[in-house]
Amino acid sequence: MALLAVPSILSICLYSQKVAYFIPTSEAVRIGWMAARDEGYALQKQSEWYLDELRAKDGKEPYDGYTSIALYRADSASPIRSYAIRIETGDVIDPEDCLLFRYADLMAFRSKITRDSGAKVVTPSDIASEVGCKTLKILPANPVKTKRESPSSNAVETNKR
């Protein structure tokens, strides 16, 4: 495996001829804080909150193709919210509650990831099927649209598995 240094938040690994991307933990933490703030969590006292990586029992990511992190209150061992970041596109979701986050700062992150990786934007339906949700509820109710996505790809869907 050869690791290339790139001036980007995306890191690139070369496995034979296949290119794989990953999001460093520090970047996942930054995105987790942004998402939590966007959702309205009172994060003024960061000593009351923390983010930690989510892993399945086998030590792997819970969802293939995603980097996962969870928000916790300092006085609780149970996550308040989980955030899974789609590695190819930068889409941020909560796969447990079937939520897709479309806040302005997260959409700017997604735009940077898709621009750096050359990946195409995927639909909420595609993301839902990847993480086992029937559909995804999009937050906020009036999401930010990017130049690379058509108005119909950002339709609000219900939150049922």
The answer for residues whose C-beta is within 8 angstroms of residue 31's C-beta and 6 or more apart is 23, 69, 83, 85, 92, 106, 109
Cα first-last separation, the chain: 38
Give residue 107's domain range.
24-154
Residues paired with 19 in a beta bridge: 14
Angle, helices 25-39 vs 104-117, to 10°: value is: 150
Higher pLDDT: 16 or 75? It is: 75
CB 123 within 8 A of CB 154: no
Instruction: Give domain status of residue 136, yes or no.
Output: yes
Asked if the model's pLDDT at residue 18 lies above 80, the reply is no
Nearest by Cα to 78 from 109, 114, 52, 102: 52
Instruction: Give domain status of residue 1, yes or no.
Output: no
Percent of the chain with pLDDT over 90: 66
pLDDT at 155: 39
At residue 146 the predicted structure's pLDDT band, cuts being 50, 70 and 90, is low
Nearest by Cα to 23 from 61, 72, 71, 79: 61
For the chain, what is the domain count?
Answer: 1
Could you give the 3-state DSSP secondary structure of residue 96? coil
pLDDT at 153: 40
The two most distant CA atoms of the chain are separated, in Å, by: 46
Instruction: Give domain status of residue 19, yes or no.
Output: no
Give the tens place of pLDDT for each residue, 33-63: 999 999 999 898 878 999 999 999 999 999 9
pLDDT at 11: 52
Instruction: Give domain status of residue 11, yes or no.
Output: no
